[in-house]
Chain A
């Protein structure tokens, strides 16, 4: 158990809908990272937050947004969903100066 939690575990929805994925980092970690992993693809970095502020942006679509709240949990919002958005979405957390990030169990999103 990495200490990072993600909910829900599975999510099935229809095209055009909007969903919210939730992540709670390890106790004491201020940084949260979001990744997307599609079938047969590696981990694609989406966005990073540190202590409530956006720190770095990767290949995140304009239809996607994220935020980190004062209690340090983070949410990833996916809107106008398309079939191609079906993937595993992972959250990871780390301390500001740590050399390691720890991953949650992921949310499997299926868009029908």
Chain B
């Protein structure tokens, strides 16, 4: 089993603030994904990072994959109420079966 720990578990910030969510493991992953989930709905893919050290930017969101492919971060600039949700990281394992391992989740609330 390849475990992913996310921090912080809960985050409540004011609109316009910046934040960073971390996803850490002692295991190596062949790729890493970030999802956002709203209550009662399925996780929606935000990004997939594949190469160690890779940085991807989607508007106000910046995703980074660690050089050793064991960790990742999500940085949101000027958070908006629409960013509220549960953020999940998931790593594709290097074991057989191409299994995906999910992080513990970060619940973000952006207060208007």
Contacts and interface: CB of A to CB of B under 8 A. Distances in A.
Tell me whether A and B are bound partners. Answer: yes
Interface of A: 2, 4, 31, 33, 35, 42-43, 45, 48, 50, 55-56, 58, 88, 90, 92, 94, 96-97, 99-106, 108
Interface residues of B, number: 25
B82 interface: no
A48 B40 contact: no
A42 B100 contact: no
B40 A102 contact: no
A42 B89 CA distance: 11
B40 A100 contact: no
30 contacts: A2-B42, A2-B44, A33-B100, A42-B102, A42-B103, A42-B104, A42-B105, A43-B43, A43-B88, A43-B102, A45-B99, A45-B100, A45-B102, A48-B97, A56-B97, A56-B99, A58-B99, A88-B40, A90-B42, A92-B100, A99-B92, A100-B33, A100-B45, A101-B90, A103-B42, A103-B44, A105-B42, A106-B41, A106-B42, A108-B40
Contacts of B31: 99-100
A106 B99 contact: no
Given A42-B105, A99-B30, A100-B48, A55 B97 contact: yes
A90 B48 CA distance: 20
Interface of B: 30-31, 33, 35, 40-45, 48, 50, 88, 90, 92, 96-105
Contacts of B101: 45
Contacts, number: 62
A75 B5 CA distance: 30
A58 B35 CA distance: 21
A58 to B, nearest CB: 8
A45 B100 CA distance: 8
Nearest to A97: B98
A74 to B, nearest CB: 15
Nearest to A58: B99
A55 B33 CA distance: 21
B43 A103 contact: yes
